[in-house]
A and B are shown apart, each in its own frame.
Chain A
């Protein structure tokens, strides 16, 4: 059975801290791994990773994929209260386009 596991499940930090969120997967015919940020409702797209070892960066957020370890990390530097959200990892696999397997998410709470 395909599986995506995120850790930690929740995290409380203070503004300015750096956080690292983890996602590991066991998915048949891996195609891509995506990170989403879920605040009140819809997951909003952050990154799509297909190649191992290539860091993707957007402002204070960055992410990298390790296909050998079947994992990815999402880093957030200089956290702000607006970063508080659930961060979802989704992995596409099993031979079909855009059928994503989601992890349970990491709930990040950034305190002032």
Chain B
């Protein structure tokens, strides 16, 4: 069964460093998303991406964050100058269209120390 895959599963980084979280969405999906879940809190929307551009972003997704689809398969989230409060589980999701269910990857647990 096709699935969204994310790498790495766990990333530890020092405060101030840049990290890139990687995702391979389901192959025939056209819409891609990043969500995050801080430990013990709700899953929060970060950004949606379609047709090689951001279609929507939340207030969390400021200049510290960027997304890219560098090739036909990968979808990345870059976090610059990481802060302690960026520690969270980051989920990538994809959907076939804008009106169908989104499927989530297993997540990358980011720990900023």
A25 to B56, CA, bound (A): 21
Q: A96-B48, A98-B102 are in contact. Are A43 and B95 (CB under 8 A)?
A: no
Count B interface residues, CB 8 Å: 27
1/0 per residue, CB under 8 A from B, across A32-65: the answer is 1010100001111100100000000000000000
A57 to B107, CA, bound (A): 27
A97 touching B31, Cβ below 8 Å: yes
Return chain B residues, CB-CB under 8 Å to A48: 100-101
Return chain B residues, CB-CB under 8 Å to A87: none
How many chain A residues sit at the interface, stated as a range, is: 20 to 34
Least CB distance from B77 to A in Å reads 15
CB-CB nearest in chain A for B94? A98
A97 touching B98, Cβ below 8 Å: yes
